[in-house]
Amino acid sequence: MSPEDKASEFNLAPVLALIEQKRKRHGEKYQRFIGAVAALLRAEFPEAFGKMPDDRLSEMIAFVDVVGEDSKAMMKRLKEGCAGCGWCCSQTSGIIVSAEDAERISRELKQKKADLFVFREGVWWIKEAHPCRWWNPRNGRCRIYNIRPQTCRNWPTIDNHDGVACLQPVAECAYAVRVTAVKVLDLLDPAKPR
């Protein structure tokens, strides 16, 4: 191995550690997400990704997921990419909100905070959040959209343990999959607008 290759491998060590950490934290969910991004890239860009080996494409996607353009900035560029399907509202197992959001929403709805939220594990959770109590299944819309919590405004990103907004690896969220696919495309051809 040449000195340049050794230096490159050493420089990639922190990135590879982040990828491994994300794989361990999310497990099979992360692999499904990577698979969904790969399927989208292969379907829309068969000439570029159709013959690429699965493991190579998976590694490229994981790399871009960790070090690519900031997901929040990408989401602003692709805001029309959210299908408004309500998956994030209807299939969630719990929604954490800030203390400020819990206070504000309770005040706006003129209801007791304890009737709407529960303080558990050091954070505030929406009560009845599977599906979210404010998700309307008839039209797929939020009943409190104008006063919804910051967590919902920022979905599909969530702050990690270091306070950095990270994209949630949710294969069922077409928006999260599309954002990651565009990050891959931008890395390969940054001059081409998407």
Read off the pLDDT of each residue in 118-124 and give the average, rounded to a whole number: 92
pLDDT band of 10, cuts 50, 70, 90: low
Say whether pLDDT at 34 is over 70.
yes
- Provide, for the chain, the percentages of residues in helix, strand and coil under a 3-state DSSP scheme, each rounded to the nearest 5: 55, 10, 30
Distance, in Å, from the CA atom of 33 to the CA atom of 186, rounded to the nearest integer, reads 19
Q: What residue has token string 């408004």?
A: 84
pTM confidence score: 0.74
Read off the pLDDT of each residue in 8-33 and give the average, rounded to a whole number: 81
Between vectors from CA 23 to CA 94 and to CA 97, what angle results, nearest 5°? 20
Q: Where are the domains of the chain?
A: 3-85+159-188, 87-156
CA-closest candidate to residue 102, choices 85, 127, 76, 71: 127
Q: pLDDT tens digits, residue range 128-158? A: 888 999 999 998 889 999 999 998 988 888 7
Instruction: Quote the percentage of the chain above a pLDDT of 90.
Output: 40
In this predicted structure, what is the pLDDT of residue 164?
66
Look over the chain and give the mean of its residue pLDDT values, rounded to a whole number.
85
**DSSP letters of 44-109?**
H-HHHHTTS-HHHHHHHHHHHHHHSS-HHHHHHHTGGG-----HHHHS-S--EE-HHHHHHHHHHH
Burial class (CB in 10 A: 0-12, 13-18, 19+), 144: middle
